[in-house]
């Protein structure tokens, strides 16, 4: 029912669910936002490991979604990746 009301009245969409919030930007956790959402860096890092991300420096953005899950957008790893010397010679 709330979805239908949000569809008919876009002004009310954000009220019950809130908005997604950026909690990590360019490898730096945003402590004020984490505190506001009663989270800490350890919880974010745990979710990163579950997503297969080893270091917070690899994260361009981490977004706390309205359903409580965290979405991760990684930095472009091709900029930082180095090819083994054997492959460079080919």
pLDDT one-digit tens code per residue, 53-75: 999 999 999 999 988 899 999 98
Distance CA(45)–CA(54), nearest Å, equals: 8
Q: Residue 11 falls within a domain, yes or no?
A: no
Domain tally for the chain? Answer: 1
Distance CA(19)–CA(63), nearest Å, equals: 10
Q: Residue 24 falls within a domain, yes or no?
A: yes
Count CB atoms within 10 A of the CB of residue 24.
24
- Average confidence (pLDDT) over 29-40: 93
Q: Residue 53 falls within a domain, yes or no?
A: yes
The H or E element that residue 45 is part of is helix 41-50
The CATH number of residue 70's host domain is 3.30.240.20
Q: Residue 84 falls within a domain, yes or no?
A: no
Determine what percent of the chain is predicted with pLDDT higher than 90. 57
Q: Residue 8 falls within a domain, yes or no?
A: no
Does residue 89 have a pLDDT over 60?
Answer: no
Reported as a single tens digit per residue, the pLDDT across 37-52 is: 999 999 999 999 999 9
**Domain range holding 41?**
19-75
Distance CA(90)–CA(57), nearest Å, equals: 31
Higher pLDDT, 5 or 27: 27
Q: Residue 7 falls within a domain, yes or no?
A: no
């Amino acid at each position: 029912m709330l979805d239908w009301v949000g569809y008919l009245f876009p002004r009310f969409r954000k009220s019950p669910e809130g908005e997604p919030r950026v909690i990590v930007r360019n490898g730096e956790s945003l402590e004020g936002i984490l505190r506001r959402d009663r989270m800490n860096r350890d919880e974010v890092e745990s979710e990163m490991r579950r997503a297969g991300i080893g270091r917070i420096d690899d994260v361009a953005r981490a977004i706390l979604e309205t359903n409580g899950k965290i979405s991760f957008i990684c930095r472009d790893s091709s900029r930082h990746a180095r090819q083994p010397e054997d492959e460079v010679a080919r």
